[in-house]
Amino acid sequence: MIGIIFGPPGSGKGTQAAKIEDAFHLKHLSTGDILRHEVAEGTPVGKEAARIMAAGDLVPDELIVDIVRRRLPEAEAGAGVLLDGFPRTLRQAQALDRMLADEGHHVEFVVALDVPEDELVERILRRARVEGRSDDTKEAIAERMHEYHKLTQAVLDHYRRQDVRVEKVSGMGTPDDVFERIRRAIGISSP
């Protein structure tokens, strides 16, 4: 089972992915979390990504595709994978399709979280006061939203064209409310 949790910055992808991982035993693969780890460890990848991320821009497709290519086989070994923050461009989506096709797999569902922009900004600024993520500044948030509209939204049309199940789910309300909607939308039962 390969699923994608999709949505703009601050829409709750990470929050919901943790719940889905617990309930359905899908392995959560977050490219943002992986990159933040690389930055914290000061690896070559982290050094390349740090400034790009802090500005709210997208890191190069090749770098991200490489990261996913290395981790996917291990993640796929379990009950399934839930991708968070990837794919984020059409080229990433095409690269993912090819990677999965090589193993006889394909994306089975996309859950697209829908949250109005003013709420997104509010959530991220609230988190900034607690966690201090380098890209949770007003300028970087604006750039992240811009990249989302310019490049990432097109990923949804890519999957719709392929008849992949795309479920739009409201991300408003409590995290539990949202999770209940997701559970109903994807309709997979807990193993």
> Residues 141 to 160: which contact ligand AP5 by CB under 6 A?
144
Least spacing, CB of residue 106 vs ligand AP5, in Å: 19
Q: Which of these is catalytic: 13, 27, 123, 181?
A: 13
Q: Say whether residue 80 binds ligand AP5 (CB under 6 A).
A: no
Whether residue 87 has a cis bond before it, omega within 30° of 0: yes
Distances (CA, A) of 28 to 110, 119, 140: 14, 25, 25
**Does residue 98 carry a catalytic annotation?**
no
**Does residue 127 carry a catalytic annotation?**
yes
**Does residue 133 carry a catalytic annotation?**
yes
Least spacing, CB of residue 163 vs Mg ion, in Å: 27
Q: Which of 4, 13, 111, 164 binds ligand AP5 (CB under 6 A)?
A: 13
Residue 76 vs 163, nearer CB to ligand AP5:
76
Q: Say whether residue 14 binds Mg ion (CB under 5 A).
A: yes
> Taking the CB of residue 39, how many other CB atoms lie within 10 A of it?
19
> Taking the CB of residue 149, how many other CB atoms lie within 10 A of it?
11
Q: Which of these is catalytic: 19, 27, 36, 144?
A: 144
Q: How far apart are the first and last CA of the chain?
A: 12
Three-class SS of residue 83? strand
Q: How far apart are CA 111 and CA 188, in angstroms?
A: 13
Q: How far apart are CA 124 and CA 56, in angstroms?
A: 13
List, by residue number, the catalytic residues: 13, 88, 127, 133, 144
Task: Name the site residues for ligand AP5 (rule: CB under 6 A).
Answer: 7, 9-15, 31-32, 35, 52-53, 56-59, 64, 85-86, 88, 92, 123-124, 127, 135, 144, 174-175, 178
